Structure 1
Amino acid sequence: MNSRISMVLAGVLLIGALIAGYWGLVLSRPTEPVAAPVVSVANTVATVEDQSRQPVVVLVKDAPAFVPLTAADLAVETLRTVPAGSLTRLDQAIGRMPLRTLGAGTWLNEDSFSAGGPLARMIRPGERALAVAVDEVIGAGGQLSPGDYVDVLLFLRQDAVNAEQSAQVVLPAMRLLSVGDQMGLANDGQPAVPPPVTAEERAQAAQRRAAARTVVLAVPEPLLSRLMLAAQAGTLRLAVRSAEEQLLSRYWAGENAAPDKLASTNRDLYQFTQLALIGPPKRLAAAGGEPGVRRGIEVIRGAQAAPQTP
């Protein structure tokens, strides 16, 4: 009996040992790590950029003037920096007709459908855009930039008309619209033409500006003829005004003080009466007779007097 019990106990213990050994093997195996979700830095940056970008309607090909735009002419791009006033939906441009030729890649806004070229959109009512030939000396050493204000000086040499040489300010505070092919801001504060984007394009634009041979000035209409006469009468110089001068942008803006400035400028002119927009000096009538009548000279010899005609 005791031997049977011992055998049973031995069998139970053997089975328990086998179970314990198997369980120990299972627990001793290295567990496989749970795969963590992979987060890509590039994907995170792209997601953030997509949220910060905004849609802009652009032309995918050249659009001629007076031809309505179709969906095939347009595309929507997302930009990080959106130009002010840009159209954001295709339906805002489809069917509308640009009044001037627009190149491919142009960002569309309301000005894209308004009349006038870049210069016409840079001047105020009552102003005219007039080009003036310059060189490195006349153009302040090639350092002029659109948006600068300059005084136009005139140098007159001594000749039969001018008794002595003179220099004077013919037109004060003229606004520079363009220097060569570089243009400034339109009246809405936006660039009249798209600015250069790459560093190479900016460097080329700076070189062209330094080598410019023409500048365009915003001239009040009453002063147009004066500038033309000055350009033909003598040598011009452009003197740059300080950017810290107050109210330069409103100097010739048609305010109440503009007529006084014009009158003061006319009074300051000398040695060239045509620039002052006045007529030539009037001939004085001969004293004691009608104009143009030549009088003789009375010669007295003792008690006799006889008129002599020279």
Structure 2
Amino acid sequence: MNSRVTMGLAGLLLVGAVFFGYWGLVLSRQPVPPPPAQPTAPSVVEQTTSSAEDQTRQPVVVLVRDVPPFMPLTAADLALEKLRTAPAGSLSAISQAVGRTPWRQLNAGTWLNQQSFDSGGALARMIHSDERALAVAVDEVIGAAGQLSPGDYVDVLLFLRQDTSNPQQSAQIAVPAMRVLAVGEQLGLTNDGQPASPTLSSDDKLKQDQRRVAARTVVLAVPEQLLSRLMLATQVGVLRLAVRSSEEQRLAHYWAGNADASDHLDVANGNLFQFTQLALGSAPRSPVAHGGAPRSAVEVIRGNQVTQQTP
């Protein structure tokens, strides 16, 4: 073979050897990917902090799903959550609730206490033993332009028109200081200070406020001794509800729990027109003698008319 050809082949082989050697050196210098990080165990400080927080939290029994009334609770309906502040009177062990029967619908997320198993609906848990809940029909005028809210106090005004059975029109406060329990579907607080209605979302609350403005019924807490008076007032004339100021802190004990409650009743009775005036019309006053002393009068009833005649 020609020596020149041999030398050319040798040169090509040398160049190839140098190229592949350089390529192998480059590949060998690429960084090796680090091994995946292993999860580190929590530090002693984190474990101590978590343990301390867990000891300060208090267990509370809550419902994990909706429970219908009159159905005994099972362990599957309940869960134990630890809260920083436990609600007053809440149950702290699942065994305290298993087998007990609620008397009303309980929603998921509700924390349980003794009142969760007491009988009676929302209104029954909003009034005291000497009160009665009475619904009154209202419109935009009667109901203070739709601005009434549960918890307000109102005076019930009565207007009697002049007609054949009522010769003299009159206006009076039929029943003062009545507590508003509900306006339409919106309820206030129960006697233990808890909302009578379940907590609503922002959208549902907005819809409820809109329905409250257009409500056609208002439920009042009426003292038992004034129940018949308010019932009579709703039938014989036109009612108005006058809202009282929230600054009157005495309203919460106006009719009950206060020694002055009987005095308030006497004042209300004194300000009210006579029953004959309220039911049948105004009776004329008895005439006065020339000497200034009133003469005794005899009440004469003719049908639905009541008159006073002096013998």
Provide the TM-score with structure 1 as the length reference: 0.68
SS in 2 for 1:177: strand
Map residues 1-310 of structure 1 onto 2, 5 A cutoff.
Answer: 55-78=59-82, 83-196=87-200, 198-270=201-273, 272-273=275-276, 283=299
Percent identity of equivalent pairs: 64
Deviation of 1:220 after TM superposition, in Å, equals 0.5
1:3 is matched with which residue? none
- CA separation of 1:53 and 1:169: change in aligned 2, threshold 3 A: same
- Partner AA of 1:75 in structure 2: A
2-side partners of 1:83 and 1:207: how far apart?
31
Deviation of 1:65 after TM superposition, in Å, equals 3.7
Deviation of 1:269 after TM superposition, in Å, equals 1.5
2-side partners of 1:144 and 1:271: how far apart?
30
- Partner AA of 1:179 in structure 2: V
- Partner AA of 1:86 in structure 2: S
- Alignment deviations for residues 260-285 of structure 1 (CA, whole Å, 9 cap, x no partner): 22122112112653769xxx997359
1-side partners of 2:63 and 2:41: how far apart?
39
1:7 is matched with which residue? none
- CA separation of 1:77 and 1:228: change in aligned 2, threshold 3 A: same
- CA separation of 1:83 and 1:275: change in aligned 2, threshold 3 A: farther
- Give the unaligned 5+ runs of structure 2: 1-33, 284-296, 302-311
Deviation of 1:54 after TM superposition, in Å, equals 5.1
Deviation of 1:72 after TM superposition, in Å, equals 1.8
SS in 2 for 1:247: helix
Deviation of 1:247 after TM superposition, in Å, equals 0.9
1:297 is matched with which residue? none
- CA separation of 1:91 and 1:228: change in aligned 2, threshold 3 A: same
Deviation of 1:210 after TM superposition, in Å, equals 1.0
2-side partners of 1:208 and 1:54: how far apart?
39
2-side partners of 1:227 and 1:95: how far apart?
43
SS in 1 for 2:199: coil
Provide the TM-score with structure 2 as the length reference: 0.68
- Alignment deviations for residues 203-250 of structure 1 (CA, whole Å, 9 cap, x no partner): 122112111111110001111111111111111000000000131100
Question: In 1, are the aligned partners of 2:236 and 2:278 still within 8 Å (CA)?
Answer: no
2-side partners of 1:174 and 1:229: how far apart?
16
- CA separation of 1:263 and 1:206: change in aligned 2, threshold 3 A: same
Question: In 1, are the aligned partners of 2:161 and 2:168 still within 8 Å (CA)?
Answer: yes
2-side partners of 1:55 and 1:199: how far apart?
28
